[in-house]
Amino acid sequence: MKKTDLIEVEVQNEAFYTLKVLSKNTDELFDEIADLSTSNKGKFQHAPVILEIENKHFQANELAVLIEILTQNNMVVIGIRSQVQELIDFARFSGLAVFDKSISALKNPETTKPSKKKDPTPEREYRLPKIVVGEVASAQQVFAKDSDLVLLGVVKVDGEVIAHGSVSSYREMQGKVFAGIDGDEKATIFVHSFDAQLVSIAGIYKRFDVVPAKLQLHSVMIDLKEGKLRFQIIK
């Protein structure tokens, strides 16, 4: 145990599980996960889970659905292990850890090499992302309180999507998107098909009467750099 005047750090031997995902069929996954949860007499209830995904064709929207399935079965996804960049990006946007290929138990934690120093800026902690599967209609508002927001359907014109954390949209974004609404300047917005009316991060916004051709219907990543919105096209 390492102790300072303000905190104590203890090495814990908590059990966590690696779930190797061998199928993309969400119906089959739902049934298998439900069986796993009920047949093990609560063993996996609220258990921390790492998802290991090797299938190169597994997509971010499928990962979002899988996380929702696990959440419904009272399992807690803490991170992923994958070589698929789209899944890694999604995990990072969603506040999940990204693990190396293998993790071994630490037999003598006191002798392990210290990790590299991290940015001293404290990280905000959010709950698992709120996932919206269907379309967000015109004049409809979707709000993710104290969490990131994942959108798997189209957001129509005048629809509003709002999150304390980051927002990831995997279909066309035609409406208004607000991220980091409580001032989180590290929040990001990802839009698979950009045609938004307005984007905002931490109160800094840009309205589009006409979306520039270089952005329209492209995959776009938006963040803040030096207090200004930065739009990056993802090819």
- 116 within domain boundaries: no
pTM of this structure: 0.51
Looking at the fold, whether 94 and 136 belong to one and the same domain comes out as no
Domain around 24:
13-103
Residue ranges for the chain with pLDDT beneath 70 = 1-16, 24-27, 37-46, 101-127
Quote the CA–CA distance of 157 and 136 in Å, as a whole number. 9
Can you give the CATH number for the domain in which 89 is found? 3.30.70.260
User: What per-residue confidence (pLDDT) applies to 159?
Assistant: 93
Both 96 and 19 in a single domain? Answer: yes
pLDDT (0 to 100) of residue 69 = 78
Same domain, 19 and 87: yes
Residue 36 belongs to some domain of the structure: yes
Q: Based on the domain organization, do 131 and 189 belong to the same domain?
A: yes
Kindly state whether residue 117 falls inside one of the protein's structural domains: no
Q: Do 80 and 171 sit in the same domain of this protein?
A: no
47 by DSSP, 3-state: which? coil
Q: What is the structure's pLDDT at 191?
A: 94
d(CA 229, CA 178): 12
Question: What is the predicted pLDDT for the residue at 42?
Answer: 60
**Domain-located, residue 81:** yes
> In the prediction, which pLDDT does 51 show?
86
Is residue 159 one of the residues assigned to a domain?
yes
Are 140 and 227 members of one domain? yes
Q: Are residues 44 and 134 in the same domain?
A: no
pLDDT in tens, 67-122: 877 777 777 888 888 888 888 888 877 777 887 754 333 334 344 444 454 444 44
- Do residues 145 and 106 lie in contact, with contact meaning Cβ atoms separated by under 8 Å? no
| 223 and 138, same domain (yes or no) | yes
Instruction: Report yes or no on 115 lying in a domain.
Output: no
Asked if the structure places residue 2 within a domain, the reply is no
Give the Cα separation of 145 and 117 in Å (integer): 31
Q: Are residues 63 and 136 in the same domain?
A: no
What is the tally of structural domains in the chain? 2
Same domain for 219 and 168: yes
pLDDT given for residue 48 in this prediction:
80
Which residue type does 182 have?
D
- β-bridge partners, 168: 150, 190
